[in-house]
Chain A
């Protein structure tokens, strides 16, 4: 059976800003409105537009016990609370985490668990990650926060040359598997160049680390707990636009969502859409629009783990004679191009091993 495989790469950028007051980083908005008494707060130039997508909550999970209404940052706090509670070696550190964090992900934890376990570090990302690696080398659990994914680059050497290679280069004598790095990620509307980045592609072909990006509070808590438990250094990117906007019923007790297992959110027969983080919700709308307006049936996959990614789920060869794959990401087109050049080889392999020709 002949199968044609065509790749359509699309980069979806945020077109409009969110009108939700997102805490510290958006403090400038309301203040500028009050500058001049002649300002009309309702004129078009002053109004901030609503987000261009709607967060779609998943059904409340029933298999993990009692749930509580939480937004994304609260689900992160819950995961960290669970971790500090059951792992006495666990420590959380980074810039401004002591008072609760600029996105409120660590609120209350220092008071509850002590200043030796939840603490500020100097303003130095290479130090934060290097320090975290060192903690993990002793076997203790290290959760390092980078304040924005846009600022992860000073730590690039420590992540790529050190953390990722620690186990391999030492012949498994030493490792930093108990290190997890968390960072707010992605478009928020007004973040501009340096508060909006999606840098996962820079790390996507660095063997030895895992990269995980959740789409929702329930996913975030389960995936973060899996990253923390995972015996490999993990980078966990948290879609900042969802910190307040995404609200779900989230289990209070710890639970784990497995890494490297993509989730098929809806079945379809004509096109496969692959997305992660915020864009999953955009793609949900796209899938509906495609069905209504074009009569196209879309399968939607949330990749969740970017590295190592679930090639089996994504690259399942279907019975139809034509396969379209659309990958959506907030990163630049050029970046995801590399990620999917690699995947092209996987797909050609998958096709050849099932005796289809490209």
Chain B
């Protein structure tokens, strides 16, 4: 698609059915709505931290749609759209951000560190690029199982500078792993622009250095992302080799709620991408031109998606925090004696000083 949503080369049109394209659009916009509401909730002190996905929705949905639900996903932190596309409920997103008793992660991590076994999305961790060699290892093990499973590993162009990225690429190539390395090149690693991150030709150009096939794709063209990922997946599993996709996009939002990007880039630059080259508007224009969408549907959907997000949000706010016992479990698979003692000490202390500990807020 071009910036007006017109197919450039009909031979490359994935010719997806209307329902699927509508699903793309609604998932991207639902993500956008959730981002707006949760960003605001952090500003209001309701959650501690948040990271938006503005501008990168195309990379998430395009790639997720090209995979099988059983493919294993290793992410960095800006791939919530992949999880949303796979069906992770809004309640669970909210629960993790609020660290309440419904959080699958048991309230232990900062917001946006999602994970879901059911949706084959490995829990996010804060250190960057650590997932890259892990993803290669997982792909190796899945190759041995012979069950047509691929692994996709997302990371940003900044994380690609980490030693772990070099390690993961080299291992995947030498050990012939069925894996897609998906780099979201969004122009910035917090405040560091790409010309301070690398001097070479981006991330895709590194692939051949490892003996790995690579492609650079317009990350804001959801169909292009879909096509590249689909083909990479097909070949990765058929040929047991890694593929590197570098999706060029732009981080419209701040790095996180702890960042004010006006300190290092102009508002004009951000507006340019927001107005001229946004994955959501490009897809909408495409759908409108095909008669699949109009203003009225847009208005109705905006209301509906906002209501869905608000319902999940309000419910998450009301929910209790996880049990205090959960501070101690899962360090090891079984509670060792010294943690058992620490837990007893904690309860003894807390019960002795209940006026300082709001136990009624916790699901004990």
Contact = CB atoms under 8 A, between A and B. Distances in A.
Interface of A: 89, 91, 116, 119, 121-122, 124, 126-127, 129-140, 142, 154, 157-158, 161-162, 165-175, 177, 207-208, 210, 231-232, 260, 308, 311-312, 346, 349
Given A171-B123, A210-B332, 18 more contacts: A91-B144, A124-B166, A127-B170, A130-B130, A130-B134, A131-B136, A134-B141, A137-B122, A162-B125, A162-B127, A165-B125, A167-B331, A170-B104, A171-B108, A173-B116, A232-B332, A308-B336, A349-B341
Contacts of B122: 137, 170, 174
A171 B168 contact: no
Given A134-B133, A140-B141, A126 B167 contact: yes
Nearest to B329: A172
A163 to B, nearest CB: 10
Contact of B144 (A116, A124, A131, A172): A116
B331 A127 contact: no
A256 B117 CA distance: 31
Given A135-B141, A232-B333, A121 B123 contact: no
Nearest to A131: B137
Contact of B115 (A142, A170, A232, A311): A170
B141 A138 contact: yes
Contacts of A165: 125
Contacts of B338: 308, 311, 346
B105 interface: yes
16 contacts: A131-B133, A133-B137, A134-B138, A134-B141, A137-B138, A158-B164, A162-B127, A166-B123, A167-B331, A169-B108, A169-B113, A169-B125, A171-B115, A173-B117, A173-B123, A312-B337
A137 B134 contact: yes
Interface residues of B, number: 49
B109 interface: yes
Contact of B130 (A140, A154, A157): A157
B174 interface: yes
Interface string B138-173: 111110110000000000000000011011101100
A311 B108 CA distance: 28
Interface in B74-133: 74, 103-106, 108-109, 113, 115-117, 122-123, 125, 127, 130, 132-133
B170 A168 contact: no
